[in-house]
A and B are shown apart, each in its own frame.
Chain A
């Protein structure tokens, strides 16, 4: 949270999300952690922002800094939010930690006119190599947990995610795939290259 007060350096994927959000929008950040993204959105885009966070430490930190955040669980609490209650609902690096990712995704596009999702790509070549060559569950910078203690219980590849969106009647309005060093790749999200070279994907979604 210390970083919140200094204007600027937030995670590159969060930086992209800030760019995508229209100024003054109503935003719900699901799994908002200690409020880093929410703070940036309120400061730089003057959004009417709310947060939902599972960890009490994160919630206390955010509320203690004046951000409207409630303690709650994306898996159980999203159903209480009204349809079209927000312009954007953001789920950053959290979908893979939910118990029912498809239901969560469907709630996101119901509650928001748009949903913005960022997620790690389990098809990233380093991840594939860990499994292929070492025969071990991958532990990388972005996926830094051992299999027995990871909160990430529903991994997918970029290709898997695009398929899920198709199945669920969700259109991808915009996407960026970030490769090594969090640099954007020139390849379209649906390409095999993006799924091989992309470490994470960012998607702007809307229900059909």
Chain B
């Protein structure tokens, strides 16, 4: 490892942080073996931290981001200028209270905000990785995070939290490193990607690959950019993040800046205009190849398949007496009633598996019409549940209400 241990940063309400992302090179000492069998010799991980690590190093919380997220959890995004994607969850006095916890979030491997991925230069060839970048999995993302957490001097994480693909990472953490996680919150997620979800991802990937500017993935070397394809991929995906009710409430059949339909293919309807905007703004901040890699990682995710086809087996550990017993990790699963991408039944399947090994598990379905995206939005009951679960466990773990 090359970089020195970083200073941790303290947030205060009047002084929002705006610091350049930290990037560390990990996996240089021993090659980093991916699920695909490929070995990476040293890879970059971009990350951000908030709050202060306590003297016992027991108050670290790892936040896992979703498909197109990044490590700018609770601060202004350097590209979009928008507030952090989980400002409502993470910050001073928030459910993940940065006065109390040391919060870590890293850009997943394969993404495009500074971590090693298809957009970055392959230091061996001096050219962008593009499709030479190996296919990664959720477990690979988590292995990389584990190296980062160790590098930051943390052995056991107090909590791992994330929604959607972030929730997949949370589940993978609990399964891969049950003694390194005290409690966890897998939110709006599933133990496997469903056929329907794989199908939607395939539509997105085909849109990207059908764009002539994609150039077989080599667009960075060719000087082109598959903005059309990536934009369509985002538009299709965005529909899956909302609910019919939410779309109707927001747009109905309202027309966009006009009194009547135009009998053409312009964006007559507000909902069309909105989706086009979502697509166009997305391509400014996201890399098309990263979109291929990360959607693939989600598609490959299937915790039960890795454990003899029985999900409950994933949540068993070998006790000191050599017997198989339920995981020591304390779980709180949250789903949203109108989420049809990761419906409540998926969370319930995880809950049933955890119950069958007598694990410590809470489960709440939040009633909302905001669809899958609800985990990023203002849903007071959701934050109340997270706060209650995290505070209750912090008390049990003996964490001080403030660091310092």
Contacts and interface: CB of A to CB of B under 8 A. Distances in A.
A60 B389 contact: no
B161 to A, nearest CB: 14
Contact of A63 (B332, B351, B357): B332
B361 A68 contact: yes
Interface residues on A, range: 20 to 34
Contact of B362 (A56, A69, A77, A82): A69
Nearest to A86: B358
A66 B389 contact: yes
B358 A63 contact: no
Contact of B387 (A56, A64, A67): A64
Contacts of A86: 358
Contact of B384 (A26, A50, A64, A85): A64
B355 interface: yes
B212 interface: no
A60 B381 contact: yes
Interface string B335-375: 00000000000000001100111101111111100000000
Given A66-B395, A81-B355, A60 B362 contact: no
Q: Which 7 A-B pairs have the closest CB atoms?
A: A66-B392, A64-B388, A85-B358, A70-B363, A64-B384, A80-B355, A63-B362
A59 interface: yes
B306 to A, nearest CB: 21
A171 interface: no
A26 B360 CA distance: 11
A63 B383 CA distance: 11
Interface of B: 330, 332, 351-352, 355-358, 360-367, 381, 384-385, 387-389, 391-393, 395
Contacts of A62: 362
Contacts of B364: 56, 59-60, 63, 71
A82 B356 contact: yes
Contact of B385 (A26, A48, A64, A85): A64
A68 B362 contact: yes
Given A71-B365, A77-B352, A80-B352, A63 B385 contact: yes
A63 B364 CA distance: 8
Contacts, number: 67
A100 interface: no
A99 to B, nearest CB: 19
A11 interface: no
Nearest to B396: A66
A65 interface: yes
Contacts of A68: 330, 332, 360-362
B385 A60 contact: yes
Nearest to A83: B358
B391 A66 contact: yes
A66 B393 contact: yes
Nearest to A59: B364
A70 B355 contact: yes
A48 B392 CA distance: 13
Contacts of B393: 66
A59 B363 contact: yes
Classify the secondary structure of A's interface with B.
Answer: mixed
B388 A66 contact: yes
Interface in A63-108: 63-72, 77, 80-82, 85-86
Contacts of A63: 332, 362, 364, 385, 388-389
A80 B350 CA distance: 11
Contacts of B388: 63-66
A71 B363 contact: yes
A60 B336 CA distance: 13
Contacts of A26: 358
Interface string A182-195: 00000000000000
A39 to B, nearest CB: 11
Contacts of B366: 60
A79 B384 CA distance: 30
A26 B358 CA distance: 10
A69 B393 CA distance: 14
B392 A82 contact: no
B392 A70 contact: no
Contacts of B357: 82
Given A60-B381, A64-B385, 16 more contacts: A48-B360, A59-B362, A59-B363, A59-B364, A60-B364, A63-B332, A63-B385, A63-B389, A64-B384, A65-B388, A66-B391, A66-B393, A70-B363, A71-B364, A80-B356, A85-B358
Contacts of A56: 364-365, 367
22 contacts: A56-B364, A56-B365, A60-B366, A60-B381, A60-B385, A62-B362, A63-B332, A63-B364, A63-B385, A64-B384, A64-B385, A64-B387, A65-B388, A66-B393, A67-B362, A70-B361, A70-B363, A72-B351, A72-B363, A81-B356, A81-B358, A86-B358
Nearest to B393: A66
Nearest to B344: A71
A50 B395 CA distance: 17
B356 A67 contact: no
Contacts of A69: 362-363
Contacts of B389: 63, 66
A81 B384 CA distance: 28
